[in-house]
Amino acid sequence: MKTIVKTVTAAIIALCCAFSGGLCIAAEQSAPGKTLILYYSKTGNTRAACEAIQKETGADIREIKDLNSREGFWAATGMLKIFMGMQTKIEPATVDFAPYDRLIISAPIWAAQFGLAMRTFVKRSDFGGKPVIIFITADSFIEEKYQQKHKDLVVASKGNVTGYFQVQAADLVDGKKVPRPKEKIVAEALKLVPDIKACIEDTK
């Protein structure tokens, strides 16, 4: 009887978490406790969105910084390094995940991949099987095939991906991408909070 109840509950949670901005995936393992948001932000959009999510969820938050400039010409070098599979200098170089039972990883998307600092951080990390929720900002909607690449990167570092959420940072106006104001990005991120909380609850 208990097995039946657990199966039905898992099915209901999976259905309730699906929505047009992200997907909560039933976790393979459960763990109570604290959540840590790890984010990289170049322009401040991702930072603002993560800080809004942090206030609503009560999670701890930590910024991953790129120690190399990404302004002007150096922004192009960041893209080039992504294409070449290279890494960058980051701070902190590592994070102690021991006090946390789940992680939220957040970054802007460059060339269909995590921004270089977060990509470097993920590749260097060992998540030890902990549940990982991915939250990204991007100029356009990220299709499933690219979402899968982001998930695969986390899985390769022993993360158990339990959710994927995204917010658009630009609108298409007359065929051109127009950056959204931070206020709109934050508003869109807040709409995802109930579903992100559902993902968190599903790993307790």
- How does DSSP assign 107-152, residue by residue? EEEETTEE-HHHHHHHHH---TT-EEEEEEEESSPPPHHHHHHHHH
On whether the pTM is more than 0.85, the answer is: no
Amino acid at 23: L
pLDDT at 68 over 80: yes
45 vs 47: CA distance, rounded Å: 5
Judged by average pLDDT, the poorest of 15-19, 71-75, 109-113, 156-160 is: 15-19
The domain locations on the chain are 2-202
Prior bond to 92 cis, omega within 30?
yes
Would you state the pLDDT for residue 70?
57
pLDDT at 134 over 80: yes
**Tens digits of residue pLDDT in 28-43:** 443 457 999 999 999 9
Residue carrying structure tokens 């603002």: 48
Q: Pick the more confident residue, 108 or 80.
A: 108
pLDDT at 167 over 60: yes
77 vs 80: CA distance, rounded Å: 5
pLDDT at 20 over 50: no
Would you state the pLDDT for residue 77?
60
Contacts of 113 (CB under 8 A, 6+ apart): 82, 119, 149, 150, 153
Top-level CATH class of 2-202?
alpha beta
CB 31 within 8 A of CB 199: no
